[in-house]
Amino acid sequence: MDQSIPYAEVVPEPAPAPRRYTLRLLAAYYALSACWGVVGVSREELPWVELGLNAALALALGWWGLVDARPRRHPVPLSSRAWFVLFAPLVVPVYVIWSRGWRGALWLVLHTLLGYGVAVATLYALWLARYGPWW
């Protein structure tokens, strides 16, 4: 009788689906980028709106970082959570690179460039609609 050792077949795990909160953050981020383009056309008329956009972006980034840390089994201590919101433009990118490595750095660069592109495209389109072409 053959007494072979049973072996487990190695089946690669499928890539995890993007979490809903990440998709919601990206939707909010691109909506805020489009709003930045709108505010850029009439910056002098809407100074408080720009400040509100900056606060909304910081709140969205900080909240996402706090929510994302829990499923990754690195929850942020209660005493440090305020720093995630107050200094979100600095803390959240560091967290993304720390938690995802080089993929996180690529993810940050990609969405930074795309967000800037959405803002510039919105600004350009509204500038043309408001002032007409300059040529």
How confident is the prediction along the chain (135 residues), in pLDDT tens digits per residue? 556 666 656 655 554 555 788 888 889 999 999 999 998 888 777 778 888 888 998 888 888 888 888 887 778 888 888 888 889 889 999 988 998 899 989 999 999 999 999 999 999 999 899 888 776
9 inside domain: no
Q: How far is CA 120 from the centre of its chain?
A: 18
pTM of the model: 0.75
Q: How far apart are CA 132 and CA 135, in angstroms?
A: 9
Cα distances (angstroms) measured from residue 53 to each of 10, 103, 110: 48, 27, 21
1 inside domain: no
48 inside domain: yes
Q: Using an 8 Å Cβ cutoff, are 88 and 76 in contact?
A: no
66 inside domain: yes
Range of the domain at 120: 20-131
Number of structural domains in the chain? 1
